[in-house]
Structure 1
Amino acid sequence: MSFAEFGGPDVLRLEDAEEPHADPGRIRITVRAAGVNPVDWRLREGQVLGAHPVELPFGVGQDAAGVVDEVGEGVTGVEVGDRVFGEGASTYAEFAVLWAWARMPDELTFEEAAGYPSVVETALRVIREVGVEPGQTLLVSGASGGVGSAVLQIARDRGITVIGTAGAANQEYLRGLGAVATTYGDGWVERVRRLGRIDAALDLAGSGVIPQLVELTGDPGKVVSIADLGAPEFGVRFSGVAGSMPDALAEAVRLISRGKLHIPVEKAYPLADAAAAHIDSRAGHTRGRRVLIV
């Protein structure tokens, strides 16, 4: 799956392409499932090109789960036939090369595993960048999506209280992940205030709430956004540069094996329906993850 011009979902093309191969330090997998991330459609639309340069035509996708079928020179600890999940390039495909991977926990299906890499890396990164400590309270705006689902569970495991905002239909979902839940919309700032002191806040939805998050924390340095490109105008950090994916995958495996992290798949689409997956992802209101079945 690729696009040769920037634009809407209709620019996506499912076409035959030359098979990639594993260079030194890489592995190739037969893709069983690929994660759908907001960065995928942002790149397709021509956004965030400063952080993610694009050369057209561009293969879509970075997260995947599948079976190793080629091991590059110098790679150890993994063999052909192993079930892995990780990050690479052009993962909306039958074959993809990964540069970061881990063995899949036995508890996960391929569809579930494909939804973890980027969201866990992002969750770990923004928790670190916002500087929230055990015993403090973290406000998460837009908490029901993939990154929010990971943030809530990782924070809870670290002894951080989380208040999460989401739509009315997702309140019980947030509570099930250990958060104190409240709805967004009119009066949401006062509803949050009644729940207690806010030590730090994350904007995961880009819904124009940065000024309110600064007001609630009292310090723009205690707010981080992954979705609002205008955040720096308010002195708020926009987090767009990924950290160590191998470390994030290792932490994901540890948390999953301890029963401390589970990110559900809201919907799985056939690869040919990638455009529909992008439309749904862009619309928001996701509970967990969206993935493509290859």
Structure 2
Amino acid sequence: MKAMTYAKYGDENVLELTERPEPKVGPSQILVRVTRSSVNPVDWKVMSGGLDEMLETRFPAIPGWDVAGTVEKVGPDTPEFAVGDRVAAYARKMVNEGGTSAEYVTIPVEFAARIPEGVPDDVAGALPLTGLTARRAISALEVTDQDTVLVHAASGGVGYLASQLAVRTGATVLGTCSPENFEKLRRIGVTPLDYGDGLVDRVRDAVPNGVDAVADFAGGVLESTLAVLNDGGRHVSITDPAVLEHGGRWLWVRPDGSGLADLLSLVQTGDLTVDIDRTLPLEQLPEAYRLSREREAQGKIVIRVQD
């Protein structure tokens, strides 16, 4: 099968298109014929060696954890899916080796969710990591319709989805972003605030009594979070473990087929929108990583592996 691989840690220049054996399919696994993957910052951070202390890497490694495609084979004792089913997954594994930037990938059955009718592969392939991260954050914050919530980096990949999920609870949602994204947030029911110097004053102007919950998808904002958070308020971060020292929660996304199925159903009904910047072919994965690393994309970058 065709796959993008890297034989050593580095930037996007270590990626090359290679031929790799088709993965084996064990018990409680499915082999997915990959149609779409997508790029997340963690992909190129892993490739650079940034998570080497946590994840073992076996070279040559195939990067990528998001996937959409069709079931090609099922392993023994796998009644949940059948050949031909359209599925999506957040396919992170304990060993970094067989990722989703390839024509085929094997995943545990509990990672996978059926793609509902009417949801394109581009959208399903862009959703897993960011969607499950957003879902986990809003769940951890226990957001209700009585809350005022501040979302740092609300127009970004995770923040945009988390903001929509928070709005769905009936909460009042404020979101930080650059001014050019203000209208993007207003369209989903979020009050936009310019990030950077003066943010605390802007939050206090909007909600003089402070906020009940804060979701940090930006990093470097702990001081601002604590300054606007009510006594007894909840806060989470996906970027800053220092929140643990201040009563907050540091989150890592988990593979979750059931949770992904819920998100896909919201996409199907039009209650959740995935922001896609562009779709590039597998051969242009190095360019996709560069665009992500240099923050030139305004939404998710989808990778077209095959049709």
TM, length-normalised to structure 2:
0.87
C-alpha RMSD of matched pairs (Å) = 2.1
Do 1:127 and 1:151's aligned partners in 2 also have CA atoms closer than 8 Å? yes
Structure 2 matches for 1:149-164, cutoff 5 A?
A: 149-164=160-175
Aligned to 2:43: 40
User: What SS does the corresponding residue of 1:5 show, helix, strand or coil?
Assistant: coil
State the 1:57 CA deviation: 3.0
Distance in 1 of aligned mates of 2:59 and 2:223: 37
Structure 2 matches for 1:205-224, cutoff 5 A?
A: 205-206=218-219, 208-218=220-230, 222-224=234-236
User: What SS does the corresponding residue of 2:225 show, helix, strand or coil?
Assistant: helix
Percent identity of equivalent pairs = 35
Distance in 2 of aligned mates of 1:57 and 1:279: 20
State the 1:233 CA deviation: 5.9
Aligned to 1:290: 301
Do 2:186 and 2:192's aligned partners in 1 also have CA atoms closer than 8 Å? yes
Residue 138 of structure 1: which of 149, 153, 163 is its match?
149
Q: Indicate how the Cα distance of structure 1 residues 230 and 270 shifts in structure 2: closer, same or farther if over 3 A, else same.
A: farther
State the 1:187 CA deviation: 1.9
Please give the per-residue CA displacement for 1:71-101, whole angstroms capped at 9, x wherever unaligned.
Answer: 1111113221222111325100111112221
Q: Does 1:202 align with 2:215?
A: yes
Unaligned runs of 5+ in 1: none
Q: Does 1:238 align with 2:250?
A: yes
State the 1:171 CA deviation: 1.0
Q: 1:222 is matched by which residue type in structure 2?
A: R
State the 1:232 CA deviation: 4.4
Q: 2:236 is matched by which residue type in structure 1?
A: V
TM, length-normalised to structure 1:
0.91
State the 1:65 CA deviation: 0.7
Q: 2:156 is matched by which residue type in structure 1?
A: G
User: What SS does the corresponding residue of 1:65 show, helix, strand or coil?
Assistant: strand
How many residue pairs get matched? 292
Aligned to 1:225: 237
State the 1:135 CA deviation: 1.6
Residue 82 of structure 1: which of 68, 81, 85 is its match?
85
Q: 1:172 is matched by which residue type in structure 2?
A: E
Please give the per-residue CA displacement for 1:116-171, whole angstroms capped at 9, x wherever unaligned.
Answer: 11112111111122343332011111111221121111111111221111112211
Q: Does 1:124 align with 2:135?
A: yes
Distance in 1 of aligned mates of 2:157 and 2:118: 18
Structure with the higher fraction of residues in strand conformation:
2
Q: 1:97 is matched by which residue type in structure 2?
A: T
Aligned to 2:115: 104
